Amino acid sequence: MINKNSPLPIYAQLEEQIREQIESGILGPGDTLPSEREFCERHGISRMTVRQAINNLAKAGYLRREKGRGTFVSERKMEQQLQGLTSFTEDMKARGRKPSSKLLHFEIVPAVESIAQTLSIPKHDPVYHIKRIRMADGEPMALETTHIPANLVPGLTPEIATGSIYNYLEEHLSIAIDYSNQVIESVTASETESHYLDIPSGSPILLMQRDTFLKDGTPVETVKSAYRADRYKFVTVIRR
């Protein structure tokens, strides 16, 4: 019940109650949340208070709103461990999900200066420019833009790019991937990202920049990935 004498604000108490019901499984993914009016009548609180609690939970990814339909419990976020370098395909298969990619763009282009510097190649050297929607069980998870040196990775085709490029490098070219440098930040989705990820414009996303290297330190790819923040979270173990 709501304790109106508690120093904790009423909206925060309601928010915590709903969050606990979701995390305990009382409310499952896809379940419909009671209406604002029902919460008001049940607890004797204002609609503005209820709305603030629901807005906070929606921003945190626990709930999703569908215009004209109501408010629903979101699907659980998938955790990606930051220990170990895995491809999207490997990661989804390990979760029992079916990975797939929708190829939006595939072209060999001259490297612009910033890409050339990142890949340690001369400016205007040929690079693959690949843009893909990475999906799990048919649902868009990330919008990915990749640049790979064409002279280092011969024979890459659009058909290969719809699957695992890492598998092609390691199994067909015997190119040993060793490590990557990765930066993750929270940003709001652009109109393009919102369109391809099927999320409202301005939604929070996790933007990841990954530069991958071979055992001798040669850069083999640079990737920018926009992950849906309502479907993904990154987890790491930090030791003292």
Q: What is the CATH number of the domain that holds 67?
A: 1.10.10.10
Nearest alpha carbon to residue 203 among 113, 145, 143: 143
Is residue 233 scored above 80 in pLDDT? no
Contacts of 18 (CB under 8 A, 6+ apart): 27, 33, 53, 54, 57, 62, 63
In a domain, 135, yes or no: yes
Q: Which two tokens stand for residue 108?
A: 């060999």
Is residue 50 scored above 80 in pLDDT? yes
Is residue 88 scored above 80 in pLDDT? no
| Same domain as 192, residue 87 | yes
| Same domain as 184, residue 126 | yes
Q: Which domain holds residue 100?
A: 78-235
Number of structural domains found in the chain: 2
| Same domain as 130, residue 95 | yes
Whether pTM exceeds 0.75: no
Nearest alpha carbon to residue 142 among 79, 196, 180: 196
In a domain, 240, yes or no: no
| Same domain as 83, residue 19 | no
pLDDT band at 72 (very low <50, low <70, confident <90, very high): confident
Is residue 60 scored above 80 in pLDDT? no
In a domain, 3, yes or no: no
In a domain, 1, yes or no: no
Q: Which of 28, 58, 73 is the last residue of a domain?
A: 73
Is residue 1 scored above 90 in pLDDT? no
Burial (CB < 10 A; 0-12, 13-18, 19+), residue 165, is buried
At 33-46, the pLDDT tens digits run: 988 899 999 999 99
In a domain, 86, yes or no: yes
Q: Which residues pair with 126 in a beta bridge?
A: 110
Q: Which of 41, 73, 105 is the last residue of a domain?
A: 73
pLDDT band at 59 (very low <50, low <70, confident <90, very high): confident
| Same domain as 228, residue 173 | yes
Q: Which two tokens stand for residue 88?
A: 């999207």
| Bridge-based pairing state of the strands 232-235 and 78-81 | parallel
Q: Could you identify the residue written with the tokens 């369109």?
A: 195
In a domain, 106, yes or no: yes
